[in-house]
Structure 1
Amino acid sequence: MAETFVLIPGAGGSGWYWHRLVEELDRRGCEAVAVTLPADDDSAGLVEYADAVIEAIDGRTGLVLVAQSMGGFTAPLVCERVPVDLLVLLNAMVPAPGESPGEWWANTGHTQARAEQAARDGRSLAEEDLVADVFFHDVPPEVTAAAMAAGAPDQSETPFTRPWPLPAWPDVPTRFLQGRDDRFFPLEFQRRIARARLGIDVDEMPGGHLVALSRPTELADRLGAYLAFTVDRASIRDGFTQGHPIF
């Protein structure tokens, strides 16, 4: 049952984003597959991103997908093509049928929500640097330095122009985990989107948008708790199926 974490990055598609979390999951005896997406390929859209995830899965079973940010557009496509035990949305975008990632921003009211949160925090969007002050504000300096040395990954505009192709969210257990200190996708904004589009509540944890870089230990703990819950629920279900309720 659910033993492999498949980690889907956001815009830029870099599997490096997950490296600190992979170390933590490995320390706990869990297999983790950090996917790199063809983000710099102008011929690749959301379907091709899903192809890359499935190629990385390489026939494994017992899967927990973890989708960061824009990865929320890709992960459900994977769930339609391979059996997935659990989907975890991490600071993620939640698509509506037929909506492209490029349309998502205006459709969800993201700009206004971000400005309102900045005002509540006493921050000025006009004076903020998107990379340093919004994405990396709580990432350790040495990790930030490594990311800056590697350079920003290229991201093609192609997937932003193509509609999300599913008619509805896939029939797979879904959890939404949100960093309460995310300056890019504010917590209250994400709560509204998750309830409106998925009918679920958001679980929160400390950390900003790049929580896998800033708080990998806490994130691994939360994912482990999700995994344990999924296994326990399956055990209860199987007990009833076999005629032996277990309580």
Structure 2
Amino acid sequence: MTASAAPVTTPTPATFVLVPGAGGLASYWHRLVPELEARGHTALAVDLPADEDSAGLHEYADAVASAARGSDPLVVVAQSMGGLSAPLVCERLKVSLLVMVNAMIPLPGETGGSWWAATGQAKARAEHAARENRPVTDEVDVLEEFFHDLPAAVVAEVLRQEARVQSETPFAQPFPLDRWPDVPTRVLAGRDDRFFPADFQRHVAEERLGITSDEMPGGHLVALGQPKQLADRLQAYWNDLARGAS
């Protein structure tokens, strides 16, 4: 007699609240949102008050919390600079999972402005450029460092949008939490990221969170360049967490 296979359980759909990086545009996530929705989830891309000098980390977190309030279970996904404010959301709402995607990971009391030197980002960026035989300067070449792996049509679409000038206010404020939120956290790095190279992200995640980062294909803007693959990763993270909890 053959034993029957154990039934396969499907995790409860989640709400993914998506926190953008510098510039604070919800439209950054527009290619990922339908991928998550196709998998049965709710996806909320948040606009941040990035061009308002009166708004800092708390105001950014408030904007995210306001958009996601009432959602359960909730997964917070932070891109790049979004890593400075996303952990604060975990104090405002019940968050089941926090995912840092090519994101800044701050220490208690550290400002976003001091994060660059403290982590050695400039050195890591320059060394990565040298390995690829690319010149690198202090001024970031957006096309070469952010858009290099994106489809031409996506680049053209992004360049047609009205850009926001990112205020320096949140970079001047110390990270206000005295420790990382007690929330399951995953760190995901784009293997082809030229701005935050994957080996740099791995070092920062291990040193600051004791977490081994995962990698996926794509550069710094993986939600634009690899939306399906990113949705697959987020789905896998949620499956692992939800099934472990059950």
* TM-score computed with the length of structure 2 as normaliser: 0.93
Aligned length: 235
1:68 aligns with 2:79: yes
2:166 alignment partner AA = Q
Select the residue among 162, 170, 178 that pairs with 1:167: 178
Q: Which residue of 2 aligns with 1:239?
A: none
| Displacement of 1:154 | 1.9
Select the residue among 29, 33, 45 that pairs with 1:18: 29
Q: Which residue of 2 aligns with 1:57?
A: 68
Equivalent residues of 1:128, 1:134 under 8 A apart: no
Q: Which residue of 2 aligns with 1:140?
A: 151
Q: Which residue of 2 aligns with 1:32?
A: 43
Larger helix share, 1 or 2: 1
1:228 alignment partner AA = N
Select the residue among 112, 117, 124 that pairs with 1:113: 124
Select the residue among 179, 184, 195 that pairs with 2:190: 179
| Displacement of 1:150 | 0.8
| Displacement of 1:23 | 1.2
Q: Which residue of 2 aligns with 1:190?
A: 201
| Displacement of 1:87 | 0.4
CA distance in 1, matches of 2:140, 2:111: 26
- Secondary structure of 2:187's aligned partner: strand
CA distance in 2, matches of 1:54, 1:229: 24
CA distance in 2, matches of 1:151, 1:142: 17
Equivalent residues of 2:125, 2:196 under 8 A apart: yes
Structure 1 ranges of 4+ moved more than 4 A: none
For structure 2, the 5+ residue unaligned runs are 1-11
| Displacement of 1:179 | 0.3
* TM-score computed with the length of structure 1 as normaliser: 0.92
Equivalent residues of 2:65, 2:89 under 8 A apart: yes
Equivalent residues of 1:2, 1:61 under 8 A apart: no
Q: Which residue of 2 aligns with 1:131?
A: 142
- Secondary structure of 1:175's aligned partner: strand
For structure 1, the 5+ residue unaligned runs are 236-247
CA distance in 2, matches of 1:180, 1:162: 30
CA distance in 2, matches of 1:126, 1:160: 21
| Displacement of 1:123 | 1.1
CA distance in 2, matches of 1:61, 1:53: 14
Equivalent residues of 2:13, 2:41 under 8 A apart: no
CA distance in 2, matches of 1:174, 1:199: 10
CA distance in 1, matches of 2:132, 2:97: 34
2:192 alignment partner AA = D
- Secondary structure of 1:125's aligned partner: coil
